[in-house]
């Protein structure tokens, strides 16, 4: 356990977006795990981690820099933290930081490096122009469900900023697929279109990734039509399942019935 673990256990501050009615993507995507996972998150929250805090800090520094020090307290270096002087300094710092999220000294170095990398990247700098951290609300036409999204950037298209520790384009795209970012992109694109934030024939969404480790490289990518359509099918399926669970008040786990267990291809080939 690090010296900051007790800080990371505190939930992020309540903001206007959390209080805005509507189903957001972060909640809906849990349906892909199971309805039970979604219901559990709604009842008990999803917790917070050191890396989630780092990601939020990078977002704030890159997109809303003027607000950074109002929302985050940057910890000085306390050495090994074992001396009386270090413990006293830490206590004084935490008292002064009340109401703000704490960014460790090492993470502050990372946040600044990511911000500098994004500012130097010509394509990223252009993509990140527009309305930032924009809250949109809309009603899904097929289900009548109230939806919402906080979009990192809305310009001529929707752009999402991601931080990553991965070191290659191949790994980043593979990770993006496993994290259902294509569903998120389609959700934001269609929501922004329905809300009138972008024109109906606007360019498809783009993502900007910045590495949280050296060399702090940047990857910018726009969705292909096939990727968008896959994301559209994904969120439409999840919405239909969510609507069914709401109607029946039945939130099953991942396997309410007996399943067949078959080895994946790679395991069969190595056996």
Full DSSP string of 164-222 = E---SHHHHHHHHHHTTHHHHHHHHHHHHHHTTSS-TTPPPPEEEEEESSTT--EEEEE
Domains of the chain: 5-24+33-250 (3.90.320.10)
pLDDT score recorded for residue 87: 79
Neighbour count for residue 139 (Cβ, 10 Å): 14
Tell me the pLDDT tens digit for each residue of 195-213.
999 999 999 999 999 999 9
Torsion angle of C-alpha atoms 170, 175, 181, 182, degrees rounded to 10: 50
Are 31 and 235 spatial neighbours (Cβ–Cβ below 8 Å)? no
Q: How far apart, in whole angstroms, are the C-alpha atoms of residue 166 and residue 145?
A: 36
Tell me the pLDDT tens digit for each residue of 143-162.
999 999 999 999 999 999 99
pTM: 0.88
pLDDT score recorded for residue 10: 35
Q: How far apart, in whole angstroms, are the C-alpha atoms of residue 253 and residue 259?
A: 13
Query: Is the per-residue pLDDT at 78 higher than 70?
Result: yes
| Residue whose structure tokens are 């329905």 | 194
Query: Is the per-residue pLDDT at 222 higher than 80?
Result: yes
Are 74 and 101 spatial neighbours (Cβ–Cβ below 8 Å)? no
């Amino acid at each position: 356990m690090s010296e900051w673990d007790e800080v990371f256990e505190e939930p992020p501050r309540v903001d206007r977006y959390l209080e805005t009615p509507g189903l957001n993507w972060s909640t809906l995507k849990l349906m892909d795990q199971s309805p039970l996972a979604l219901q559990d998150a709604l009842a008990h929250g999803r917790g917070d981690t050191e890396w989630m805090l780092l990601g939020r800090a990078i977002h704030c520094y890159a997109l809303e820099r003027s607000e950074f020090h109002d929302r985050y307290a940057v910890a000085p270096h306390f050495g090994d933290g074992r001396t009386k002087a270090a413990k006293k300094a830490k206590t004084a710092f935490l008292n002064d930081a009340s109401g703000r999220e704490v960014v460790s000294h090492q993470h502050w170095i990372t946040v600044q490096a990511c911000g500098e990398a994004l500012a130097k990247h010509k394509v990223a700098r252009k993509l990140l122009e527009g309305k930032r951290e924009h809250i949109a609300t809309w009603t899904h036409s097929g289900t009548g469900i109230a939806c919402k999204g906080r979009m990192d950037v809305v310009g001529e298209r929707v752009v999402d900023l991601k931080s990553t520790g991965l070191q290659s384009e191949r790994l980043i795209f593979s990770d993006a697929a496993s994290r259902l970012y294509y569903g998120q992109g389609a959700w934001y694109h269609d929501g922004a279109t329905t809300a009138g934030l972008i024109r109906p024939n606007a360019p498809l969404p783009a993502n900007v990734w910045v590495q949280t480790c050296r060399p702090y490289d940047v990857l910018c990518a726009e969705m292909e039509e096939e990727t968008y359509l896959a994301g559209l099918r994904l969120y439409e399926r999840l919405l239909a399942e969510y609507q069914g669970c709401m109607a029946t008040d039945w939130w099953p786990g991942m396997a309410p019935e007996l399943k067949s267990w078959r080895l994946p291809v790679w395991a069969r080939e190595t056996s």
